[in-house]
Amino acid sequence: MWTEIGKLMILHVLLMEVHSTRGSHTYTDCETGQFQCKNGRCIPTLWRCDDDDDCSDNSDEENCAKKTCATTDFACNNGQCVPQRWRCDGEPECADGSDEADATCSRQTCPPEKFDCGGSASKCVSLSWRCDGERDCENGADEDQCSADAKACPAKEFQCRNRKCVAPIFVCDGDDDCGDGSDEEKCSISTCGPHEFRCNDSECIPALWSCDGDPDCRDKSDESMERCSRRTEPQKPRCPAGEFQCGSGECVQQNWKCDGDADCKDKSDEAHCALLTCRPDEFQCGDGSCIHGTKQCNRLHDCPDFSDEAGCINGVNECAENNGGCSHICRDRRIGYECDCPSGYKLMDNKTCEDIDECENPDACSQICVNYKGDHKCECHEGYEMDPSTKACKAVGKSPYLMFTNRHEIRRIDLVKNDYTQVVPTLKNAVALDVDVTTNKMYWCDLYHRKIYSAYINKASDSSEQVTLIETALSSPEGLAVDWVHKNIYWTDSGDKTISVATGDGKKRRVLIATELSEPRAIAVDPRQGFMYWSDWGTRAKIEKAGMNGVDRQVLVSERIEWPNGISLDLSSRRLYWVDSKLHLLSSVDLNGDNRKVLLSSQDHLGHPFALTVFEDLVYWTDLEAAAIYSANRLTGHNVAKLAEHLNNPLDVVVFHELRQPKAPDSCNIGSLPNGGCEYLCLKAPQITDHSPKYTCACPDDMELGPDMRRCVIAGNDHYLLGNNITVAILGIVIPIVVIGLLCTAGYLVWRNWRRKNTKSMNFDNPVYRKTTEDDDDEIHIGRTGESVGHIYPAVSGSGRQPFIALPLGGSRVFSFIFSPVESKGVRSKRLPIPLIL
């Protein structure tokens, strides 16, 4: 009996073991680089011992060594370490929030160069931001108790009703420079000077500008037919093949007609167009408009008449059961479903979420991005500080200001104090502009005079201080850029279709690129990396880059681009920004041509943008159609604002601030050799690899580098370029051949003429080599044709003998021996010419 009971007990134990085995979990081994939690979940190994329970059972935080934070770190209460600079910055980085706790931040003391915002947060902001018109402290303390004097305009400036400051010269000039019209109130009728012409709108321009074929008055009264005796309106030019002539006279590309975008001033290119039909991949709404086919039945009303959602059938909601198998978020779709993750995570197997690197997005932060699990942290470069209110990086120190060309003048706007002053007056057609902050100099191109000028900014209003740098071989200089490190200037010329470089004084210059350019327009340089960038709005529009010495040329943007008028570099974020006046777009791309992004698409704010510049978190641009200057957030394109309006053809615009032009070593003057040992130009070379040369030498257009790659020699048969875009490789072969042929012909003619004049003859009645028996009758005549040369000696013997002529010695001369026939002893001699060289 006990045996049977024992068997039953053993069987019961075995069954329990089997049941226990069946009821246990079977875990799959995690992949390399992953940690397996006790509950079987796999997490990245980097998440182990990071003071965060990622396994949900805290097994990833067990048996962890005790951490000791570095002196540069802040120790959170839970043992986590974060950088000390993240302490009390308004964003909790510690998992327990101890880095932003009141007990931590209330003990914070601001240094002398900072302003204490006060309050419980105890935030510190730059002292230069105090009373600048912007609330940088969350409680606005930096703008409190600002005296009236602090907000008043500087002496000799006019204060508008809106507290904007403008220079006295802008008061009663016919332009609403204040923006509220207060600078044009209570103005008497203006009278122009004796050498000025008064426009119908009371504007004054130099008298020489009247009737010069170029309208300078805003109302164009200086070129009116009545004044300039133009009886008939000039005939509108006919457009070439492939272009459409607008009713207003201008020419646009033929494929722009009826494209839904008015390109002609009178919009005649969009008149008399057939009804719009949608593409095969589009859905046509009930009102005739088109949307992409993927927007049909997406539970969103994309058509104005909601026709895209009519007749749609809802499917089964897979997320209703077990959350669709998603670890975090399940989204039901019209067909099927999809898993999603919260902010800071991404799907790694279409169901499970993992941390993402937000810093892969170039616009995640204003400047510097630091990634950590589930989130990221933004920081600023040296010279900038994080604004606690906007989280944007703001420059510390001197106030930045805009400089822009207003066709007949160059103006300046202080971006902090809002001062509005004139820098250069009485220009004819200033179209391009750039500055050198370290030397406080400005450079500009005048399209009318076809010259490039420079001046110190504080003296630029005096015409005697303006220096002409380039005044020859310029056709249409429309873009200008200053190399602030190596002190060279670069410019584009749409007339010659070239890109050139010159020294800062204009004495040495060279054409760098003159091929495959159609309408080169804007140009920008990066002296630290040795690259230049330019836009070309020709038939095949594009944005290109090349080394600042003209090598390693490559295209950055060539698709979805039409009129790239202006470009600008943001060196802190390593991105290029441009405006397209045809597509009405503001876009950006990284400096390799990747990660393209459209920031703003607006015909209202981008009617005809011409130029742009970037500083801090804002992008500024000029617009010809609106006659204004705009700004917007450079990361999002939001917060569009108008800085100035009622301008007269605002063209180029730049920001003047030392942080716009970061310091870098001058590659041409690092060593002991000045100018890098180059005889002519020293140009920064593109830094492609660590082994790239720092600079290369360059020569004038009609010369080339010698074997030492430093000195210049006359160009041989190789290709070299002239300023007018003529390749002389063929001429280098043909011209020497022609010259040699001409020299040979001339030499032959000279030789023949010389021979004719220097022919000698000798008459031997009885040649020396012929023996006769009657020596008395022998006769020798040596004479020079046409003249008597030498000395005459008397006959040696015999009265009947003729004298002979002794020729002077020296030199090589050709003579002819002529044997005269004589009768001697029955032998007859012949008269034969024999050459003789003496």
pLDDT band at 759, cuts 50/70/90? Answer: low
Predicted local confidence at residue 62, as pLDDT: 86
Asked if residue 680 lies in contact with residue 526, where contact means CB atoms within 8 angstroms, the answer is no
Name which of 40-44, 347-351, 463-467, 785-789 the model is least confident about. Answer: 785-789
pLDDT digits (tens, 9 = 90+) for 798-833: 444 444 333 343 344 444 444 444 444 444 444 334
* Nearest-angstrom CA–CA distance, 284 and 292: 9
Q: Would residue 113 be called left, alpha or beta, if left means φ above 0 and alpha means ψ between -120 and 50 degrees?
A: alpha
Q: Amino acid letter at 679? A: E
Same domain, 540 and 457: yes
pLDDT tens profile 462-471: 999 999 999 9
Q: Are residues 564 and 457 in the same domain?
A: yes
Same domain, 536 and 648: yes
Q: For the segment 413-435, what is each residue's pLDDT rounded down to a tens digit?
A: 998 877 888 999 989 999 999 99
Same domain, 795 and 657: no
Phi, psi of 250 (to 5 degrees): -75, 165
Mean pLDDT of 691-711: 94
Please determine, for residue 228, whether its predicted confidence score (pLDDT) is greater than 50.
Answer: yes
Identify the residue with better confidence: 279 or 799. Answer: 279
Given a cut of 90, whether residue 534 has pLDDT beyond it is yes
| pLDDT of amino acid 784 | 38
CA distances for 376 relative to 28, 86, 385, 651, angstroms:
32, 12, 18, 39
Which residues form the domain of 792? 758-837
Same domain, 546 and 619: yes
Q: What pLDDT shows up at residue 732?
A: 64
Give yes or no: residues 604 and 680 share one domain. yes
605 occurs within a structural domain: yes
Of the two residues 584 and 755, the one the predictor is more confident about is 584
How would residue 562 be classed by pLDDT, with cut points 50, 70 and 90?
very high
Look at residues 653, 683, 714 and tell me which one is the last residue of a structural domain: 714
* Averaged pLDDT, 618-643: 95
Q: Residue 69: what pLDDT?
A: 85
In a domain, residue 764? The reply is yes
Dump pLDDT digits (tens) for 434-461. Answer: 999 999 999 999 999 999 999 999 999 9
In this prediction, residue 787 carries a pLDDT of 41
User: What is the structure's pLDDT at 791?
Assistant: 39
**CATH code: domain of residue 573:** 2.120.10.30
pLDDT of residue 836: 36
- Residue 446 domain-assigned (yes or no): yes
Q: Which residues contact 652 (CB under 8 A, 6 or more apart)?
A: 404, 405, 430, 431, 432, 433, 434, 444, 480, 566, 610, 611, 622
pLDDT of residue 350: 79
Confidence of residue 121 (pLDDT cuts 50, 70, 90): low
pLDDT higher for 216 or 478? Answer: 478
Helix (H) or strand (E) holding 35: strand 34-36
Residue-wise pLDDT for 353-403, tens only, equals: 788 888 888 778 888 888 877 788 888 988 898 887 778 888 888 889 999
Q: What is the mean pLDDT of residues 735-755?
A: 79
What's the confidence (pLDDT) of residue 223? 85
pLDDT exceeds cutoff 50 at 95: yes
Using the predicted structure, report yes or no on whether residue 680 has a pLDDT greater than 90.
Answer: yes
**Is residue 486 assigned to a domain?**
yes
Where are any strands of DSSP class E within 591-717? 597-601, 609-615, 618-623, 628-633, 641-644, 653-656, 681-684, 695-698, 703-705, 712-714
Q: Tell whether 331 is covered by a domain.
A: no
Non-local CB neighbours of 2 within 8 Å, separated by 6+ positions: none
Query: From CA 255, how far away is CA 182, in angstroms rounded?
Result: 46
For 397-406, 646-655, 744-753, which range has the lowest pLDDT when averaged over its residues? 744-753
Pair 538, 477 in one domain:
yes
User: Which comes out higher in pLDDT, residue 357 or 231?
Assistant: 357
**Domain tally, the chain:** 2
| Residue 647: inside a domain | yes
Contact 465, 459 (CB under 8 A): yes
Same domain assignment for residues 658 and 793 = no
Query: 325-354 pLDDT, tens per residue?
Result: 777 788 887 666 788 888 778 887 777 778
Which long-range CB contacts under 8 A does 195-200 form with residues at least 24 apart?
A: 197/222
pLDDT in the model for residue 455: 97
> pLDDT category, 227, cuts 50, 70, 90?
confident
For residues 14 and 663, the model is more confident at 663
Between 518 and 253, name the one with better pLDDT. Answer: 518
Instruction: For the chain, give the mean pLDDT.
Output: 79
pLDDT of 15 over the 50 cut: no
- Per-residue pLDDT tens over the stretch 586-625: 999 999 999 999 999 999 999 999 999 999 999 999 999 9
- Same structural domain, 704 and 780: no
Of residues 467, 464, 475, 397, the one with CA closest to residue 437 = 397
Indicate if the pLDDT at residue 263 is higher than 60: yes
Please answer whether residues 219 and 213 qualify as being in contact, where contact means their C-beta atoms are separated by less than 8 angstroms: no
Within-domain flag for 791: yes
Q: For position 107, what pLDDT does the model report?
A: 63
Q: Are residues 510 and 634 in the same domain?
A: yes
The per-residue pLDDT for 175 is: 72
Give the C-alpha separation, 564 to 796, whole Å: 103
- 3-state SS record for 353-419: EEECCHHHCCCCCCCEEEEECCEEEEECCCCEEECCCCCCEEECCCCCEEEEECECCEEEEECCCCE
| Residue 516, in any domain of the structure | yes
Q: Which of 344-353, 574-583, 697-706 has the lowest mean pLDDT?
A: 344-353
